[in-house]
Amino acid sequence: MKTNNTRGYVLLNALGLAFSVIPPAASVLLYFPIWVSKGGEYLLSGIAVLLLLVAFLPLFKLVRQLFKSPSGYSVWLAIFLIFLLASRIATEMLTISFIGFVGNVIGAVLFRLARRYGRNEE
């Protein structure tokens, strides 16, 4: 019985992380191209990279828990830069942030269910 709880815990945590990261990242990739053509060169789109970093914040949170290092200042810097750039792209940001919100709500529910499996293990 203990292995079923462990499997459920791991599965729900993985699903929670997937729902928290994949929908916002996919919506960013649909709205903003990663490569932008400038003259004859292709450059990385700064806003797409910045938004992808925000989409991957739940993954960064997991990594941070693994290494136990504080990174609150980096989150605030990312939020500041996003709001600074968001004035030019408000409609797209509205859609992306809604998709990110829904994905993270689903992820939070799955994480909570995973914690229940973890508690049953003890």
Each residue of 77-119: pLDDT tens digit? 666 766 776 666 667 777 788 888 888 888 888 888 888 887 7
User: Residue 37: phi, psi to the nearest 5?
Assistant: -85, 120
Domain assignment of residue 64, given as a range: 2-121
Query: Which residue bears the tokens 């989150």?
Result: 75
Amino acid identity of residue 26, one-letter, is A
d(CA 82, CA 93) in angstroms, rounded, equals: 9
User: Is the whole model's pTM more than 0.75, yes or no?
Assistant: no
Residue 1 is predicted with a pLDDT of 46
Helix (H) or strand (E) holding 122: none
Token pair, residue 86, equals 């968001």
pLDDT of residue 21 exceeding 70, the answer is yes
The fraction of the chain above a pLDDT of 70, given in percent, is: 69
Q: How many domains does the chain have?
A: 1
Question: What is the overall mean pLDDT for the chain?
Answer: 75
